[in-house]
Amino acid sequence: MLAVIDLTHRQANRVLEQALRTRAQVELEPRRGDRSLLGQLAGREEGLLRVDLHDYGQDWTLTALTGAFCDVKAILSGQLYLFCSCIVTVAESTVPQRLLLSVPDMIQVANRRRFDRYALPQPPRIDVMIDGAEAGLPGLLCEVGLGGLGCELPRREADDRLLIDDVVRVRFELPNVGLPLELSASVCIKAAGTDEGHLRVGLEFQIPPPGHADEPAYQRLRQALGSQQFRAS
């Protein structure tokens, strides 16, 4: 399943900063022409984003793309980000060839789930613990799978304290499973909750390798999700 979520202005700025810092590879699909372009997000120049293109040979002409809108894709920390921009300036005589893009008004994150998730008809409590915070964020666990979970948290606290890609600890209980489960997870989605006071947050587990301290908890989760009793709950 592919879920596409609009980022807030603050989240979008954070994603752009990370992309510039890591020189993220981007794929551009101009809406004028039939070729896609590959390059690296290399910097900002006078408020525009600079993309250094890969080598396309001497026969590649960029002039016709000036003023064209394009759809841009980038992958950061395993997440696919999407935005629309305009090609403001082209430099085809430089090495490498270069484009200057307008800063996007909106960025979206697309999250493809690798595992099924199961809805919980009677959502149990979940605590999301943030490094350095004295107390965790209490909420309700709405769905869970081997890859991660979805929960609802108080909007104000969650929006202020949780950012995309933040790593947190989650503690929760499942029906018919004795001890609470505690695992590390990264924030991958923030969306509107069931009401104005809550935020829906999707988290992806950091699956522990053999011998890790979290492995027993993850194995209990695996056993619980594989049981017919849980699937029927």
Q: Where are the domains of the chain?
A: 2-112, 117-231
Residues linked to residue 87 through DSSP beta bridges, in sequence order: 101
* Token pair of 16 as six digits: 């752009």
117-231 CATH pick, 1.10.10.10, 2.40.10.220, 2.40.50.180, 3.20.20.300: 2.40.10.220
The CATH T-level fold of domain 2-112 is Pnp Oxidase; Chain A (2.30.110)
Intrachain domains 2-112 and 117-231 with the same fold: no
Alpha-carbon span 69 to 28, nearest angstrom: 10
pLDDT tens, residue order, the chain (233 aa): 455 778 888 888 889 999 999 998 898 999 877 678 888 999 998 889 999 987 554 456 788 899 999 999 887 766 788 999 999 999 888 888 899 999 999 998 876 555 677 888 889 999 999 987 778 899 999 999 888 999 999 988 888 888 877 899 999 998 777 789 999 998 877 877 788 889 889 898 988 888 899 999 999 998 888 775 555 54
pTM score, two decimals? 0.54
Q: Where are the beta strands (DSSP E) in 7-53?
A: 25-30, 37-45, 48-53
Alpha-carbon span 138 to 193, nearest angstrom: 15
